[in-house]
Structure 1
Amino acid sequence: MARAKLAVGETGGVSVTREHRAKGSTGSTGWKALPRGARAPKSADVRWVASCTYRESASATRRLRRYGPTQATARQALLDAVAELREPSRSNLAGLTRRHALSEIATEWGRRTEARTDLSETTKRVYRDALRSYLLPNALASRPLEEVNRVAAVRDYLQAVAGAHGYGAARQARNVLSGVLQLAAEADVLPNNAARGVEIPRTKGAAVAVRSTKRRERLEGLEVPAKAWARDTTRALTKDERDAFRLAVATDELAIKRDVADLVQLLAGTGARIGEALALRWEHLDVTAGTLHVKGTKTDGSDRVLHLPAWLLEVLSARRAKSGVGYIFPSPKHGSEVRRDASAVQAAMRILFDRHGLSWATVHTLRRSVATIMHTQGVPLVEVANQLGHADASMTMRVYLGRNAGAPSAAHAL
């Protein structure tokens, strides 16, 4: 017999479990579920997780998760979150009508997002930047909610953002606008959320907008043509380009000062995700075997042991001789047992890409480049997927190599 569908505002059953991670780790990564009845290692941090399914509208549910040091505090935090969702008219939403400006509820949505405990600091920063950069400065923010909550209005807004800032910015803008309108719908101010499901427009030949004044000045100083300022998440470096970049970074004063020179070598030689690289500890490196244990967290396949190229093993061996304890790439300010913040690393690497003729590249370009180099060298697709930590090799081909990346075996067959 099928389960009865939850009514709007109702929750499913509440489950409370425990998670643990190695002491000294930071951020949301590294937490693993602790089986019922099992004891966590004495050297591990432990937290309780309370979760349930919440019906937020007739067509959508949300999985809520709240944390606490004890079972009771986690459960209470979840119940408080459910109560807030059921009473959206509290706080700054009292008296709000569909004739009020979008900006009024957008500001409240931003406040609530900052207060959420189920979002990582990186996610909050992305939402915060999109709200401040794309939504609040736009003329849409001053229009009444009833005018904004139309598919045509949403589509025009996303088209404008995509044209000025690109597809990625439009995607972030839609996520934020959808969240704001959903809050209004939950408060019974709007009958529905018109932004949900609106397709993000793709634009060709759009003007390149650089929000960072420092980056604009840097690119102008380097005499990089404006048409080359845009990031391109579909391109990869050739083997020669990758080697030229990593060798240039190895002696770059900025890279050395900000301690990202060795990190670039690792990313360029393994294809690891930035979060995986920053989670590496010295005990994960086996110099004798020439391997590195990357403890990925996305899927079972992301936990893997990689064989390192000789040049990268030499870089890491030299680095270990200087430290050899804690994280391989720790926080420069807080010591070897504190994990480094990814946003600071990414900012430094963006500068390096600009300075070394790769203004189109992103941190993820190095990961894509490793996949492409392996593929063009004739490495089987399943081994490329294993290198990247993908459980599904077809996703490796579809997302990282693309349909236009021919296999070397095709030439032999023809």
Structure 2
Amino acid sequence: MGIGTYGTINTTEVQPAKWRARTRYRYADGKARQVERFGTTRTKAEAALRQALLTIEASRGGELKPTTTLRVLGQMFLAHKRDLQRSEGTLETYGYAVTAHITPRIGDLSVAEAKPDRLQKFLNTVHKESGHGAAKNCRSTLSGMMALAVGNGATLRNPVRDIERISKPKGRKGASAISPGDLPELMAKLRSSPTLIEQDTVELLDFMVASGWRIGEACALDVSSVDFLGRTAEVEATSVRVNGVGLVRQPVAKTAASHRVTPLPGPTVDLLRRRHERLKEHTTLLFPTVLMHLRDPSNTQRELRDIRESLGYPKLMTHTFRKSAATILDRAGMSAAEIAAYLGHANPSMTQDVYMNTLKGDTRAGAIMQEQLKGVI
């Protein structure tokens, strides 16, 4: 028998209503050992044995090999990410792709059988039935799984590299930046919004446009992360909702590149100082809810969606402020690498392609946010 294969399954009724299914399985160490399972009928005993054979190497701590199924590989991948202490949000995202899509549809494929054409058909189906986001998540998760297989010698090449990237549907775009010239008008409308005033959201948006932080990062900002004398704030946590747990302040940034120290304009530092003085008896958070709890990014996003039509900005999102900050820095003459560092991007090319609204012509190199936002914040 080849490694990871088994012989003929023999079934015997050992006593009334108790059947035994038995075979020999050849393990990664080359040795063939007897494996057996029981059931109330012949069919159930055999089914129990076949199911056990799918994961028997993993249960013995066996090495990853070409015959390892994607069902087992998926669990090994998640365990690997837990060992690396990835964030709960990241683990939940990967876990959903594994349990909701990969395992039910292609979990019985072995690593050796996970060819590009099979994976492409799988992703096409997910894209058609569950949408762009689900397909993109599955592709990323599969890539990580197969990279683990490559690293352990179970396959020579990651097949995900040879399949098409998941493209967004035509006509659908993410947030767009607000022109610096339009920012004063927009911020004035936001500051006069009864909904945002009632929920104490206005100054959060002021901070976001000046810092370029993600909404989850801003919601999790604690006074311990602010250096008032140095005029900086450190991204060291994010507000996320974890399935089965609820809203948590995750004490790690979204990615390694996201953990950064951001230089802030003087007026923005003054804003944070005023908020701390007002809130310090209740919380160390700088942008909590009106009840002094951790703010949910989704709730803030919904607040904007509810009023954006009336403001005359039907596509306004919280991410708009992050893109607007990138545009301001770009127009001031800062490089893609400098803006990437400010925004917390690992790859400056992503900043160039997605966030920067590059204009041709002379620019003022070295301009800072305080100069560019004079009269806005």
TM-score (norm 2): 0.54
Write the distance in 1 (CA, Å) between the matches of 2:114 and 2:103. Answer: 16
Candidates 231, 234, 241, aligned match of 1:292? 231
Is 1:195 paired with 2:195?
Answer: no
- Structure 2 residue runs of 5 or longer lacking an equivalent are 1-54, 237-255, 364-377
Q: Structure 1 residues 169 and 238 mapped into 2: Cα distance closer, same or farther (>3 Å)?
A: farther
What's the offset of the Cα at 1:132?
Answer: 4.5
Secondary structure of 2:213's counterpart equals coil
Q: 1:373 corresponds to which letter in structure 2?
A: I
- Using the TM superposition, name which of 193-202 and 298-307 deviates more: 298-307
Aligned to 1:39: none
Aligned to 1:281: 223
- Structure 1 residue runs of 5 or longer lacking an equivalent are 1-86, 207-226
Cα deviations across residues 266-295 of structure 1 (Å, max 9, x unaligned)?
001222345654344178364xx8x73123
Q: 2:286 corresponds to which letter in structure 1?
A: F
Aligned to 2:302: 351
Is 1:151 paired with 2:116?
Answer: yes
Secondary structure of 2:162's counterpart equals coil
Aligned to 1:232: 174
What's the offset of the Cα at 1:400?
Answer: 5.5
Write the distance in 2 (CA, Å) between the matches of 1:392 and 1:186. Answer: 23
Secondary structure of 1:232's counterpart equals coil
TM-score (norm 1): 0.50
Q: Structure 1 residues 91 and 146 mapped into 2: Cα distance closer, same or farther (>3 Å)?
A: closer
Aligned to 1:264: 205
Aligned to 1:319: 275
Q: How does 1:380-399 map to 2 (within 5 A)?
A: 380-381=333-334, 385=338, 388=342, 398-399=352-353
Q: Structure 1 residues 348 and 275 mapped into 2: Cα distance closer, same or farther (>3 Å)?
A: closer
Contact (CA 8 Å) 2:94, 2:141: kept in 1 or not? yes
Write the distance in 1 (CA, Å) between the matches of 2:91 and 2:358. Answer: 36
Write the distance in 2 (CA, Å) between the matches of 1:156 and 1:169. Answer: 14
Write the distance in 2 (CA, Å) between the matches of 1:368 and 1:116. Answer: 34
Is 1:407 paired with 2:360?
Answer: yes
Aligned to 2:34: none
Secondary structure of 1:236's counterpart equals coil
Contact (CA 8 Å) 1:166, 1:203: kept in 2 or not? no
Contact (CA 8 Å) 1:158, 1:200: kept in 2 or not? no
Contact (CA 8 Å) 2:233, 2:263: kept in 1 or not? yes
Q: Structure 1 residues 350 and 109 mapped into 2: Cα distance closer, same or farther (>3 Å)?
A: farther
Aligned to 1:125: 92
Contact (CA 8 Å) 2:200, 2:290: kept in 1 or not? no
Q: 2:212 corresponds to which letter in structure 1?
A: G
Secondary structure of 2:233's counterpart equals strand
Write the distance in 2 (CA, Å) between the matches of 1:126 and 1:175. Answer: 10
Write the distance in 2 (CA, Å) between the matches of 1:257 and 1:182. Answer: 49
- Using the TM superposition, name which of 313-322 and 124-133 deviates more: 313-322
Answer with 1 or 2: which has the greater Rg.
Answer: 2
Secondary structure of 1:373's counterpart equals helix
What's the offset of the Cα at 1:164?
Answer: 6.2
Write the distance in 1 (CA, Å) between the matches of 2:113 and 2:192. Answer: 52
Cα deviations across residues 358-389 of structure 1 (Å, max 9, x unaligned)?
6766544322211213434xx23159937926
Secondary structure of 2:167's counterpart equals coil
Aligned to 2:286: 329
Aligned to 1:89: 57
Q: Structure 1 residues 303 and 145 mapped into 2: Cα distance closer, same or farther (>3 Å)?
A: same
Cα deviations across residues 337-370 of structure 1 (Å, max 9, x unaligned)?
xxx5xxx633223323432246766544322211
Contact (CA 8 Å) 1:154, 1:198: kept in 2 or not? no
Is 1:365 paired with 2:320?
Answer: yes
What's the offset of the Cα at 1:305?
Answer: 2.9
